[in-house]
Structure 1
Amino acid sequence: MATPRIDLTAAAMLLGLAAVWGGSFVFAEIALRELGPMTITLHRVGWAAPLLFVLVRLKRLALPRGWRIWGSYLVMGALNNAIPFTLIFWGQTALEGGLASILNATTAVFGAVVAGLLLRDEPLLPRKLIGAALGVLGVAVVVGADALGTLSLRNLAQLAVLAAALSYALASVWARVRLGDQPPLVNAFGMIAGSTVLMIPAALWSDGLPDLGLAPVTWAALAGLSLLSTVLAYLLYFAILRRAGAANLTLVTLLIPPFAIFLGWLVLGEALPASAWIGFAVIALGLLVTDGRAARALAARYFLHTVTKE
């Protein structure tokens, strides 16, 4: 079996995935002008569920039976969709989308620590702890030292996005433990269906009956969130996973913030301070340390250079 690698096609898909996930932060900011965070989450998962169901049927995949597996999908839908989407959208009521995307980039770094604590086959290696420390340092740079002594709406919004990153990390562990024997597309439909079931009463309680008299730009943003940043994103995600492997797929974490920041500037005229870029660089370094491949490549290069000299 060939070693998974990033070829030209995988690289293009990786950039496409980063673009549609980065675009979700812009779509959300537009939709937040008329809708509450829970209703936006409901639109995002509610539109995606029937489309993913159609894809499952077209591929002739069997849907699992039994309350146990669908209960697992309900938990997965909460951890990977309902909770983090809502927290991020609420956070964006007080944060720029680009800044929210930078804070959300801690998912991969902290996810490695969560897996190390909860999974026996994922040891908590020193590089993961160093990566997590760099992630925390990067967050501190992004948030700013002045935020440590105050409690404002903006600070709470930043904490909400970080809580969403933790929820994503827990979701990855849950998927490993409870859903590893199911086809990926079936898992995608199952968790989206589960999150839709959860978000219907939550959105009705929070925002009441949905308003259908929305501005065209709001409908377009909702369509982008669901069709591009959810359905298309899952298709790209699984295609990259098959072609390039899980390790290479984590690189998308580094690519999402630049796309979110660029699109936020292009569409909404947003600009972030230099501290946000510096913090992102530290978080990115934390991800590279956690991943370990860059360090191994440098070590191998140094060893080869030393042997050649001798």
Structure 2
Amino acid sequence: MTAELTPDRTALRSWLPGFLALAAIWGSSFLFIKIGIGELHPLHLTLYRVAAGTVTLLLVLAVLRDRLPTEPRVWAHLTVVAAFGVAVPFTLFGYGEQRVESMLAGIWNATTPLIVLPLAVLVFRTERLTARRATGMALGFAGVLVVLGVWQGVGGAHFTGQLMCLGAAACYGVAIPYQKKFIAGSAHSGLSLSAAQLLIATAQLAVVAPLVAGAPPAPTGLSVEVLASVLVLGALGTGLAFVINLRNIRIAGASTASTVTYLVPVFAVLIGALALDERLTWHQPVGALIVLFGVAVSQGLIGRRQAPAGVMEPPTPAGVMEPPTADVAVAAPAGVAEPAGVAAPAVSSALSVPAARC
């Protein structure tokens, strides 16, 4: 018996540390966003973190002797993905966390798959709607209403902040199926596409941030705490997290690796409570559980019947955060995301999270 279990245990030990590390990195992104906006405008924070992530991935690209894409068509599509998968959602999470707790932002990040599905079905037509997916989507929508606490009425800064975080998740919902439709078939590596995506997002933010928020402050004028938060968000959460995610996909498989999405809000809540002494009202964690249950149902992790022994199940249409959560960079973030890369064709387009994922 022991001999039979050894291979599984060995496999588990090979990918579980990286899996948990990734969940912790993306879950902590919301904490570092909260710290960063204490001194920085959300646009400036996003600019600095994305720039740090860009430098990190370009260095990794150079070490691996990989190259950026050269085709204008690929860069054109990446411009759209960079805006909806990185620049806008990262900024919205920053604005949102000016009004809500970091742990609540982490919960909203988990709604991304529920937004991806209807857009993938109705707009991009990269998925088909099944009874299972419709049920999961309905459950998820109910969970969203519970998290919002709609029976308490709408309005106010806190409610507005939640809508901004939901808007960030909605941006990922556009970027993921768009990437799957127009970029996933590219011959370029996920690392190459992700580095290009971050490079474009940096350029976009470098233009928009000064126009909206004025010139960004010099890094030397920031406190050590904020500067460290920016570097962790960029180099680790937006840069190296992508490399860890690729490794997880290679070792554990895309489907298993994509389930990190379920742990990100858990880490976000734990870290927010321990580091910032944040508290949630009863309906927010309850709604989060309903959302996660809806996501699990829509992705077939709950309620799917097993195929009879010896009979192969027909392949499931690419799922929302399936192999490619790649775009999610699961997904990534914080505005995760997550996070922010494009998954390599070999690992499906499920990889890019929005870097926060956050």
Does the 8 A contact of 1:30 with 1:221 survive in 2?
yes
**Mapped pair 1:192 → 2:159:** no
Report if aligned partners of 2:126, 2:177 keep a CA contact under 8 Å in 1: no
Q: TM-score, normalised on structure 2?
A: 0.78
> Number of residues paired by the alignment?
296
In structure 2, what is the equivalent of residue 69 of structure 1? Answer: 74
Q: Deviations over 1:207-239 (max 9, x none)?
A: 222212111111011111111211121111211
Per-residue deviation, 1:35:
0.6
| Pair 1:81–1:121, CA change in 2 (3 A) | closer
Which of 157-166 and 237-246 deviates more? 237-246
Query: For 1:231-284, what per-residue CA distance to the aligned partner results, in whole angstroms no more than 9, with x for missing partners?
Result: 121111211222223322331111011111111112111121221111111011
Q: Runs in 1 of length 4+ with deviation above 4 angstroms? A: none
Q: Which residue of 2 aligns with 1:228?
A: 236
Relative CO higher for 1 or 2, CA cutoff 8 Å, sep ≥ 6? Answer: 1
Residue 43 of structure 2 corresponds to residue 38 of structure 1: yes
**d(CA) in 1 for partners of 2:93 and 2:110?**
12
Is the contact between residue 69 and residue 196 of structure 2 (CA under 8 Å) also seen in structure 1?
no
In the TM superposition, residue 152 of structure 1 has moved relative to its aligned partner by: 1.7
Other-structure match for 1:159 = 163
Q: Secondary structure at the match of 1:273?
A: coil
The 8 Å contact of residues 80 and 171 in structure 1, kept in 2 or not, is answered as: yes
1:137 corresponds to which letter in structure 2?
A
Deviations 1:149-208 (A, max 9, x none): 432222221111111111112111122122221210011101100100100011111222
Which residue, 209, 212, 223 being the options, matches 1:206?
Answer: 212
In the alignment, is residue 138 of structure 1 matched against residue 128 of structure 2?
no
| Selected match of 1:178 from 160, 164, 182 | 182
**Segment drifting more, 108-117 vs 274-283:** 108-117
Contact 1:30 1:218 in 2 (8 A): yes
Q: 1:224 to 1:62 in 2, by over 3 A?
A: closer
Hey, what's the Cα distance between the residues in 2 that align with 1:86 and 1:280? 22
Q: Aligned runs of 1:263-274 on 2, under 5 Å? A: 263-274=271-282
Match of 2:132 among 127, 132, 138: 127
Deviations 1:87-140 (A, max 9, x none): 111100000011111111010222223222244452111211111111111111
- Partner residue in 2 for 1:308: none
TM-score w.r.t. the length of structure 1 is: 0.90
Q: Are the equivalent residues in 2 in contact too, given 1:32–1:93 (CA < 8 A)? A: yes
More helix by share: 1
Q: 1:245 and 1:170 mapped to 2: Cα distance? A: 24
Report if the CA contact (8 A) 1:108-1:253 is conserved: no
Confirm whether residue 95 of structure 1 aligns to residue 135 of structure 2. Answer: no
Q: Which runs of 5+ in 2 are unaligned?
A: 1-10, 310-358
- Report the residue type matching 1:46 in the other structure: A
| Alignment partner of 2:115 out of 110, 125, 129 | 110
Amino acid at match of 1:157: G
Could you say which residue in structure 2 is the equivalent of 1:219?
Answer: 227
1:18-37 equivalent positions in 2, closer than 5 A: 18-37=23-42
User: 8 Å contact 1:111–1:169 — kept in the other structure?
Assistant: yes
Which letter does structure 2 place at the counterpart of 1:113?
P
- Is the contact made by 2:53 and 2:236 (CA closer than 8 Å) also made in structure 1? no
Q: Distance in 2 between matches of 1:289 and 1:264?
A: 27
Partner of 2:336: none
- Aligned Cα RMSD in Å? 1.9
Query: Secondary structure of the residue that 1:7 maps to in structure 2?
Result: helix
Q: 2:343 maps to which residue?
A: none
Give the gaps of 5 or more residues in structure 1.
1-5, 305-310
Q: Work out the CA distance in 2 between the residues paired with 1:35 and 1:204.
A: 13
User: In the alignment, which of 235, 244, 260 is matched to residue 268 of structure 2?
Assistant: 260
1:279 aligns with 2:287: yes
Supply the distance in 1 between the matched residues of 2:21 and 2:281 (Cα, whole angstroms). Answer: 26
CA distance in 1, matches of 2:96, 2:59: 32
- Correspondent of 1:240 among 224, 245, 248: 248
